[in-house]
Structure 1
Amino acid sequence: MTAKDDVDLRVRRRLRELRTRQNMTLEDVATRAQIDVSTLSRLESGKRRLALDHLPRLATALGVSTDDLLREDEQADPRVRGASHTAHGITFWPLTRHGPAAGLHAYKIRISAERNTPPAEFRVHDGHDWLYVLSGRMRLILGDRDFTIDPGEAVEFSTWTPHWFGVVDGPVEALVILGPHGERMHLQDQ
């Protein structure tokens, strides 16, 4: 990719970002910039290359400086910051932000030593659960099968199977990936 292609790509992304952030349509920006709507659409999609005379008009139409259109995107803080949440003997620390692809969310969890007796009835819900045990020994009941999951082992199962997980003989730390239904069940409804 040449430097010209890099600038072109950056400006196209900034155009779309600024336009959508301001809830402006292609037609709104095109009218303000005094260019044809199809030209603006092709500029944003990369089907047409930017000309220098487009930049000041587009910047004015979006209420920013030409420098704002040309500048590098600001990198968001990559750290995930979220408060822990405890429900029914399990503390969840978020490892993903809200809205990741496919609605999946990752958590580090700590299952307290008190969560050692399964309930009389097991839950079922939409989705799959995936767990990776970091430390401790986890007890997993799936239907009528009872498993002990040791550190370094992972499990994946359909949550349509009646299930419960707890500890064998002390606290457990694990990583878990949950879909929206599993997240709702494990973090709120348990």
Structure 2
Amino acid sequence: MISRRGAVVAAVITALVTLVTSSFTVYFTTRAEQKQQEPSAGSTSTTVTETVTRSPGRRGSGSAEEAPDSEPATSGETVHLADREPDDGEMYWERGEVTVGKEKRPRALTMDTSCSDGYAVGYNIDRGMSTFRAEVGLTDYADSGDPVTFAVRVDGEPVGAPVTVRVGEVAELRADVGAGFRVSVRANPRDCAKSAVLIDPVLLP
């Protein structure tokens, strides 16, 4: 029969064999997994970082980053000056509806002229505009039968033919402004005529 001491020795040896076997098993299993995760010898992974430096676009280069034109494109549509603030003479002319020749004029500029001289109202000329046109008259409530003469100037120089009207009359005022920077209209009364009116002044292409 196996003694108690022999049984203990046998148990210890069995435990040591099991421990060593387990250690080898874990080691080789781990190595196999590492080899499976390693890339093959013939393949190399390379990451390339590209730095792109953009320079500001230049006008006329065709680049998508070209600087925009400094001037807006011309729309080709009529410009209604009575819808704008005048660039000159705003303090002398009042914008709003007025009755001339028994007809309401919603787009109008009205000025109470002095007894000796009228005042000009002026606007910058939009690019692409070639003609100034307006109707002129006196308000129906004007207290004088004396005429008022309207004249157009471009950059201070007279252009077109002056137009003279009396109360109840409406006439067209037209001038070529294509080569100019600013157009202005002056209403010159005789004696003490009142309330000269520009009716829907426009710039035309």
State the structure with bigger RCO (CA 8 A, min sep 6), 1 or 2. 2
User: Which of these two proteins has the greater Rg computed from alpha carbons?
Assistant: 2
Shared fold (TM-score greater than 0.5)? no
Task: Report which of the two has the higher share of helix.
Answer: 1
What TM-score do you get using the length of structure 1 for normalisation? 0.29
What TM-score do you get using the length of structure 2 for normalisation? 0.27
Task: Report which of the two has the higher share of strand.
Answer: 2
